[in-house]
Amino acid sequence: MAVVAIIGGTGLTQLEGLSIREAVSLETPYGAPSADILRGEFGGREVLFLARHGHPHRIPPHQVNYRANLWALKQAGAEAIIAVNAVGGIHAAMGTGHFCVPHQLIDYTWGREHTFYEGELDHVTHVDFTHPYAENLRAKLIGALQAEGYPYSGHGVYACSQGPRLETVAEIARMERDGADIVGMTGMPEAVLARELALPYACLALVVNPAAGKSTGVITMAEIEQALADGMGKVKAVLQRVLAQA
């Protein structure tokens, strides 16, 4: 069975129900990862868990050391990755509390260390990124959401913005014109780094607020925190079901 690593985002700095066997502290050629990698049992099988923003939640999205995180997970034995992301809803179907298992993404970030293939190379390397998410993992996430009866979309385009600020109304309108359904700040370069390391990767996105201009009021942290509190139990139920069949 493949060893699955779970990368927890905002609201998931700890994986409740994870029976921890060890905390693995690793150094990589790219520096230290966001936190120790926790190895243990969850959903009846061995898993690895990494808090993307550290524990406690302290590293903003544009300063996450994505290269160190992915390298360390591979070094620790990860063979597939499920990423949990809190996102804003752009498409009308993506209301607060809705899940999305995206099939595509658009990268609007800049200045992030986004590849392992740089520096003194023997040759230039290009990786195919036509389909950024692993279809077999996506199918398992969709099946788990169906079984749990949670509202979800089995397709969606994830727009990754730079952060840490939220987007403007005009920026969201542009992303919508580009075809984006949800917006977050951590989907890239995480996904492409996983591809460069040949790690199958899929995203379980929880909508925690309407994107800018998609509601009548301003976006508040209280609103986001409540949506996270309401949704994390469901996230864990989905992950347990996926791991039980992985």
Residue 122 inside a domain? The answer is no
The model scores a pTM over 0.85: yes
- pLDDT per position as a tens digit, 88-100: 999 999 999 999 9
Read off the CATH number of the domain in which 23 is found: 3.40.50.1580
Residue 198 inside a domain? The answer is yes
Residue 120 inside a domain? The answer is no
**pLDDT score at 15:** 65
Residue 126 inside a domain? The answer is no
**pLDDT score at 10:** 63
Residue 124 inside a domain? The answer is no
> Is 211 labelled as part of a ligand binding site?
yes
**pLDDT score at 171:** 98
Residue 234 inside a domain? The answer is yes
6 is written with which tokens?
């779970």
User: Into how many domains does the chain fold?
Assistant: 1
Residue 127 inside a domain? The answer is no
> Is 185 labelled as part of a ligand binding site?
yes
**pLDDT score at 125:** 83
pLDDT tens, residue order, the chain (246 aa): 588 999 987 656 556 666 777 888 998 999 999 999 998 887 778 899 999 988 777 899 999 999 999 999 999 999 999 999 999 999 999 999 999 999 999 999 999 999 987 877 777 888 999 999 999 999 999 999 999 999 999 999 999 999 999 999 999 999 999 999 999 999 999 999 999 999 999 999 999 999 999 987 777 778 888 888 888 889 989 998 998 876
**pLDDT score at 23:** 87
**What's the rounded Cα separation, in Å, for the pair 177 and 171?**
10
**What's the rounded Cα separation, in Å, for the pair 24 and 36?**
5
Alpha helices in the chain (DSSP H): 66-75, 135-148, 169-178, 190-196, 221-245
Contacts 24+ apart (CB under 8 A), 57-64: 57/10, 57/13, 59/34, 60/163, 60/164, 61/162, 61/163, 61/164, 61/185, 61/186, 62/109, 62/111, 62/112, 62/162, 62/163, 62/164, 62/185, 64/34, 64/186
> Is 209 labelled as part of a ligand binding site?
yes
Domain range for residue 101? 4-115+140-245
> Is 96 labelled as part of a ligand binding site?
no
**pLDDT score at 246:** 61
**pLDDT score at 104:** 98
> Is 23 labelled as part of a ligand binding site?
no
> Is 57 labelled as part of a ligand binding site?
no
Residue 82 inside a domain? The answer is yes
> Is 241 labelled as part of a ligand binding site?
no
